[in-house]
Amino acid sequence: MGLDAQIIAIGPFSRKVVKALEYPEADYAQVKEGATVVSNVFLAMTSEESHALAACFGVGALDFGRHELNPQAADQKKLTEVFDQENVRDFLLLREYGFKFYFLPNA
């Protein structure tokens, strides 16, 4: 069986981060400032990408005790090699505004 994975971000909504969230800005029109929102940041669709994504944060893809990631530990250069610059930019903006990040494997 293959592995796919994602990194989700959970944090306080702000109009300043809406461009980094998963859905179009109009979908957040009724969301109040400070409300908790959840968004996918990185989607890894293959086993190879999933392992590479985990490694960008210094964890193993099936390292179940470390699902909550340290966003400061992210290797931005490696992330840019695996994902496009837009995903990395969104991650950095959400990190700046205090979001927490979680690695979710699906094996």
Query: How do residues 22-75 score in pLDDT, each as one tens digit?
Result: 999 999 999 999 999 999 999 999 999 999 999 999 999 888 888 999 999 999
Q: Which residues contact 27 (CB under 8 A, 6 or more apart)?
A: none
Predicted local confidence at residue 66, as pLDDT: 86
Query: How do residues 73-91 score in pLDDT, each as one tens digit?
Result: 999 999 999 898 999 999 9
Predicted local confidence at residue 79, as pLDDT: 94
Predicted local confidence at residue 1, as pLDDT: 61
Q: Which two tokens stand for residue 83?
A: 């994902």
Q: Which residues contact 81 (CB under 8 A, 6 or more apart)?
A: none
Q: How many residues does the chain have?
A: 107
Predicted local confidence at residue 4, as pLDDT: 95
pTM: 0.93
Predicted local confidence at residue 9, as pLDDT: 98
Q: Is pLDDT at 99 greater than 90 in this prediction?
A: yes
